[in-house]
Amino acid sequence: MTIAHLLEDFEINLMDPSRLRRMDEDTLEEFRLAAFEQGYSAGWDDAVSARSEEQGQLNATLARNLEDLSFTYHEALSQMTQSLEPMFESLIGTVLPETLERSYTHHIVEQLKSMAREQVSQPALLIVPAGVSSALKPLLSEELSFPVQLVEESSLPAGQACLRIGTAERDINCSALLNSIGEAMDSFLQQAKEVS
């Protein structure tokens, strides 16, 4: 048995008119439509694939940029905080105490005025640390229209005062305020160092 039937015969003329088949117009149109659909589908798949790949690259780039930006922000915040630390220390150690000391007497007068509006025609008593009354007396007589009994208490620390009008009483503690501000600033600086 020969294998000739399995091999292609090159002697046959493929352009022989007897071998050509004619397609009718409908079959030819179906063939064209099928080819168009196949090409369109392949093009659409390529476009979707390219768009997905482009979107993935954009997302990756955006994520990298956000990460870089976040790192840069935290780095800048850390450097700014560290550079401002000496200023904060100077502010809390020097400027605020001096400012509170200068505004201490004015703060007392404002508190007395406020309390006097609430407790009309009641006796007023002001207890202050030793050595403060000399600076406070002129201001009290200038700002207040009612008499205030001024008492110095040697056991009262600087920056504190006790105001009493009738049954109302208020304590002024500038030292506690300064300590509170200092603790808040120390906490902020510590947290900023831990973030970096």
Read off the pTM. 0.45
Output the pLDDT for position 37: 92
Token pair for 23: 């397609």
Per-residue pLDDT of the chain (196 residues; tens, 9 = 90+): 678 777 776 666 656 666 656 778 888 888 889 999 998 999 999 999 999 999 989 988 888 888 877 777 767 777 777 777 777 777 777 777 777 777 767 777 777 777 777 666 677 888 888 888 888 888 888 877 778 888 888 888 888 888 888 778 888 887 777 778 888 888 877 777 776 5
Token pair for 82: 């560290």
Output the pLDDT for position 65: 83
Measured CA to CA, the distance from residue 162 to residue 169 in angstroms comes to 7
Domain ranges of the chain: 65-195
Q: Report CA 178 to chain centroid distance, whole Å.
A: 26
Q: What is the DSSP letter of 22?
A: P
Residues paired with residue 172 on neighbouring β-strands, in sequence order: 161
Q: How would you list the strands of the sheet with 124-129, edge to edge?
A: 148-153, 124-129, 160-165, 168-173
CA angle 126, 132, 137 (to 5 degrees): 65
